[in-house]
Structure 1
Amino acid sequence: MARTTPPRPLDVRTLFPGVVTYQKTAVRLHPRLGHPSARESSLGGPVLWPLSEPWPHCEDNHPRTAFSPPAQGPIPLVPVLQLFATDVPNLAFPDTADLLQVLWCPFDHEDGYVPRPERYWRGSSLSDLQSASPPSPVGPADDYLPTACVLHPERVTDYPNWDLPEEVADALEVRFEQVEEETGWSYWSHLSVSNGVKVGGYPTWTQEPNWPTCPTCSARMEHLLTINSSEFDGKGWRTWLPVEDTPATRTIWDLPYKQRTEIQRPLGSCSATWAAPTCSNAPAAPTGPSPTVQTVLDRARLQSKGHTGADEAAVDHFGTVLQHLELAFHGWGDLAEVGGGEVADVSLDQRSNALLRLRSGA
């Protein structure tokens, strides 16, 4: 069954013409629990892999946290995403590639205390691609193991939120407030950046933008892909809950908890964002993993109810604090991590302070 974002309740182009210049096309992927095959796009599902290529392992030394492996040593990566170009025509695949795969190590790493991702661009016509049977890592938390989901791609329009230029935001501030007071619809929560798992568009920042630059040419990177554990939050759900998932009577919040979470958070608490460059100096696409991961993670602390230090253990003030990474890569090459956190079922103001899930040592 397709998934369809409701039409915006207000005409953004007419009400706020100043934002139209900055609109971008995004493709919401709408993951839902299912049984994808290795020859389908999926999140957390089976993937194709070359018979001639060993399954990748992480050999990093992991910090001692509540999300550490039980022992040091090589750890098999886990599949997170597989995307075929036919499902996301808006995504510019490099050279002859038509298959994007994202894997990660499902344990904390020193840079940001988050999983370390690797991405692979391939041609799906390679003769030795077969359904993979990867080894399973021992001891990862469910937070870092996405549940198998099928995808329902849908094109939508994003207008900038945090990325709206300051001078434009200042000029429209009174208008934004006036429209919200008159209609109950907030530009920031209901009308700008689409929520959920998506390709393109704008990142769902939870703090001021922190865009990485290309380590080769210093160009600013652009957004590629968001893998977010939540399709919508407690404030923006009226515009980002798909029509097909909307209850016939009452609201999504009146559904039984299990039924609601299968719609709102089908992936569990896994989330990450990838970004791609617009730089014309991008090198040719490799067929293997990106060689390095640069961490420029905003280390802002959770500052609610007296907790200001990063030494608090798995603080959970607003509901579940979901891991949210902002990742970027340049020219199909080096990766960088930026960004913050996501909190389920709370307002944007509360979420803006919840940038990282805090963890204590084991």
Structure 2
Amino acid sequence: MVHTTGPAPVDVTTIIPGLRPWRRTSVRLHPRRGTPAPESSHVGGAIQTSARMEWPSCPDHSYVNTAGNFQPLPMLAVGQFLCKDFPEILFPENADLLQVFWCPNDHFLEFPPSAEYEGPRVELRWLDSSHVDGFSSLTWEASWPVEDSYLVHPCTIDQERVDEYPDSEVLPPLLAEAADAISTEDGGYQYSLSVARGWKIGGWPSWHLTGLQHIECPDCAGPVKLLIKVDSCEWDGGSDRWWPLEERSLTEEQEPAAREPTGTVVGRFGELRIFTCESNPAHSPIPNIQ
């Protein structure tokens, strides 16, 4: 099914021409529950792998196996993204397949100089798809320690590229003041004209919870960029603009599966963003919750 974001209530660059250089394109993923093909770009579910690849596990959590021994807790496959589908993603050399994993438990981490984080531990795998020859998925055992809110329903995705503008926290003072002064019937600049809701690749991050935080690469102290956003919902009461036009006639019973398709809740019904180094995406990823 095609998903279309509603038009912006106003042309923000006509009102504020100085915002034109700040425009970015993000890819709304529009995950919807289904059975995605393991070789496709998708969210949750089975992913491509091979017998040579060890499934990632969490160094901080374990479970007791049937023999009574402690074993590292396997991570959960959050999503898989192919280079051919997402030219917006900067892949390392000799990689064309990105897999995102997390431990479905809270971790308390710090990322100098100022970012603190409480949420799932994240791991990225950048692979050469010519080296995979099968697929795999995990069935979570009832005895494994896991936060149910971090489990991810298997979902197909429908890519939609939309223009975004930054959170006013990011803008220079005069532009920020002008942006915040824009009034619309549907959320103003912050909710209907700047950062898209829902799961997405690239674009701008929102800083609505903490205010702007300084994040840098933990490996080289260089600048970072937003790789992916995991959102607790596809749209909310802040603005109907992000509610796909094709789904506005859903019944009351049908709407929750579209609004919260993955069943994943991060933060206080917020969003988890994964940042990567601008110069070397293979450097350690930085998760952040708003």
TM-score, normalization: structure 1?
Answer: 0.69
Q: How much does 1:265 deviate?
A: 0.8
How far apart in 2 are the matches of 1:185 and 1:143?
28
1:259-298 matches, cutoff 5 A: 259-271=254-266
How far apart in 1 are the matches of 2:43 and 2:176?
39
**2:112 matched residue in structure 1:** none
Pairing partner for 1:107 from 105, 108, 131 = 105
Q: Secondary structure at the match of 2:60?
A: coil
- Conserved? CA contact 1:22–1:160, under 8 Å: yes
- Conserved? CA contact 2:228–2:273, under 8 Å: no
The one-letter code sitting in structure 2 at the alignment partner of 1:327 is I
In structure 2, the gaps of 5 or more residues are 63-68, 110-116
How far apart in 2 are the matches of 1:230 and 1:191?
18
- Conserved? CA contact 2:35–2:45, under 8 Å: yes
Work out whether 1:333 is the aligned partner of 2:280: no
Pairing partner for 2:121 from 109, 116, 124 = 116
When residues 161 and 115 of structure 1 are mapped into structure 2, their CA distance, relative to the original with a 3 A threshold, is same
Q: Secondary structure at the match of 2:122?
A: strand
**1:35 matched residue in structure 2:** 35
When residues 133 and 29 of structure 1 are mapped into structure 2, their CA distance, relative to the original with a 3 A threshold, is closer
- Conserved? CA contact 1:76–1:136, under 8 Å: no
**2:55 matched residue in structure 1:** 55
How far apart in 1 are the matches of 2:176 and 2:270?
31
How far apart in 2 are the matches of 1:59 and 1:171?
45
Higher relative contact order (CA 8 A, sep 6+): 2
Q: How much does 1:46 deviate?
A: 0.9
When residues 72 and 205 of structure 1 are mapped into structure 2, their CA distance, relative to the original with a 3 A threshold, is farther
**1:172 matched residue in structure 2:** 178
How far apart in 2 are the matches of 1:170 and 1:136?
46
How far apart in 1 are the matches of 2:274 and 2:83?
20
**1:125 matched residue in structure 2:** 130
- Conserved? CA contact 1:26–1:198, under 8 Å: yes
The one-letter code sitting in structure 2 at the alignment partner of 1:225 is I
**1:159 matched residue in structure 2:** 165
CA RMSD of aligned residues (A): 2.3
Work out whether 1:136 is the aligned partner of 2:140: yes
1:226-305 matches, cutoff 5 A: 226-236=229-239, 238-247=240-249, 255-256=251-252, 258-271=253-266
Q: How much does 1:72 deviate?
A: 6.5
Deviation string 1:163-202 (CA, Å, 9 cap, x unpaired) is 43232335415xx53x416x55511111111111111101
Deviation string 1:111-142 (CA, Å, 9 cap, x unpaired) is 3442111110112122x431114463524232
**2:90 matched residue in structure 1:** 92
**2:206 matched residue in structure 1:** 204
1:42-81 matches, cutoff 5 A: 42-60=42-60, 73-81=71-79
Q: How much does 1:73 deviate?
A: 4.2
- Conserved? CA contact 1:84–1:98, under 8 Å: yes
The one-letter code sitting in structure 2 at the alignment partner of 1:223 is L
- Conserved? CA contact 2:39–2:48, under 8 Å: yes
- Conserved? CA contact 1:205–1:339, under 8 Å: no
Deviation string 1:270-307 (CA, Å, 9 cap, x unpaired) is 449xxxxxxxxxxxxxxxxxxxxxxxxxxxxxxxxxxx
When residues 107 and 170 of structure 1 are mapped into structure 2, their CA distance, relative to the original with a 3 A threshold, is closer
**2:65 matched residue in structure 1:** none
Q: Secondary structure at the match of 1:110?
A: strand
When residues 30 and 98 of structure 1 are mapped into structure 2, their CA distance, relative to the original with a 3 A threshold, is same
How far apart in 1 are the matches of 2:48 and 2:169?
36
When residues 164 and 130 of structure 1 are mapped into structure 2, their CA distance, relative to the original with a 3 A threshold, is same
When residues 211 and 222 of structure 1 are mapped into structure 2, their CA distance, relative to the original with a 3 A threshold, is farther
From the two aligned structures, give the one with the greater strand fraction: 2
- Conserved? CA contact 2:198–2:232, under 8 Å: yes
**2:66 matched residue in structure 1:** none
- Conserved? CA contact 2:119–2:266, under 8 Å: no
How far apart in 2 are the matches of 1:87 and 1:271?
26
How far apart in 2 are the matches of 1:113 and 1:148?
24
How far apart in 2 are the matches of 1:95 and 1:125?
14
